[in-house]
Structure 1
Amino acid sequence: MKKLGVMGLAMSLVAGGLTGCKDATAGEVVTKKAANEIVTVAKYLNNNETLSDGGYKIGTEISGKDELLKAATEYSSIVVNEKRIIFKNGSEADLVNLGQLLGSNTSPERWSGGDVFRIDAIYEQDSDPYKTMDITFQYIGQKEAEKKEEDVIDADYVLKHLEIGMPKDEVRSLFGDPNTEYPNMLNDLPVWDYHFTKEGFEFEGFADEVDEQGLQNGNMIMQLAVTFQEDRVFQYQFHVKDTSTYVANDGTSKTDMR
């Protein structure tokens, strides 16, 4: 059973001996009947009232739990053969079960918040496109971490981007490799320690030591310690010149004056 992609159908038709087709993007006029059938289906999906309001058309790239769930909900009104999501490790699931799959039990090997998916649609050639159409949320890569202008990483940046439950690879994409790694003294969980310093300054204290002098004189801009459990953020704390902030496993935070 050969299946052809909406966005690249015409190229496959040319390879099979049909000529004169342009790429069959949604709404584009082509000269061959088979390609026109696909354009009609793509046009129907992309002009669907629900999808038009939400903007989740074929070819749209989405990421983040909320966006994935919104897109999946909007596609629930489309009657096709199959609606599925393909994760980064190659495993597949029905879009109907997406809410449950993106919950706390989803393994980091399968899904993380920075994963980007593209909405694809394929159907079986020479058959009813509606009955054989598959809508797929296809994993295509990782979203680049959003940084402030000039890549300034400060307390606001940490609170905005670092989340409880975030997998290690996303933490690394936000802050790079840690300066040091060591076990938490209270629970023996692994800790990544980051030193954000003035150019040319290098902290030479103990792994879990707060550089009080550096924070006060400006050589140490911020120290961040991230604790992990099962390769996901369990808790974290950071120190700047005048305050120390602790974010617990339940997401609550406490800031104390230094």
Structure 2
Amino acid sequence: MAGRIEGRIALVTGGASGVGRATVEAFVREGAQVVLTDLNVEAGEALAAELGGKACFIRQDAASAADWDMVAAAVRERFGRLDILVNNAGILLKGSIEDATLDDWQRLMRINADSVFLGCKAGVALMKDSGGGSIINISSIAGIAGRDDYAAYGASKAAISGLTRAVAAHCRRAKYRIRCNSIHPDGIMTPMTAGSYPQGVDPARFTIDADPMNRACLPADVAAAILFLAEDGSRAVNGIELRVDSGQFVMSI
């Protein structure tokens, strides 16, 4: 039985760990050929080796225009096209408007927002020449709901939402057959978020595995939503903000 994205060519940034890794694994399982990129060369190469011929690794700073040119050229040379792009690379820095520094702001904007802007530009250029595709940008609940302790981080993720809608509208008007959607997780159990829990507290206590009504989900839960937006079953879904947050957002309003 063919997989849900059998034969597709996918690119996942920040693919060596967390949500990126879970997405790469899901894509390979469902039949795609995956290019995963990351700054963590050791973890990226290990994952690609583990997955065999269905995945390859490229070292990339996703916030570098030169690196995007290099990755896009490599994808075009090896595969001739790109069907799915997941702009997942990002960092988390805590800080209210009083605590956050300008350096924090600029670093978050560079890594979280500039990377998605550059990724969308590269993705559109590749996809419009090969019949279309799906771009999935990983934002956050912090990008649509105010978080007093994540001011700069929330702003960087909000930028992704606005960019996603603009890309979706542009590609629709241009008739490129490219969809662009954003996903907004909250409380995912990843290495990046582990440090946000109080010392001595086991984060597993707060996962939906422990209690379906808990707040925290697992990387595989987000990867499942990404897979939905990548496949043809979501062909009528374009320009949306998909929340994967165990209902956290609706409980806060």
Q: TM-score, normalization: structure 2?
A: 0.24
More strand per residue: 1
> Which structure's relative contact order is higher, taking Cα pairs within 8 Å and 6+ residues apart?
2
* Greater helix share, structure number: 2
Question: Radius of gyration: which is bigger?
Answer: 1
Normalising to structure 1: TM-score of the pair?
A: 0.24
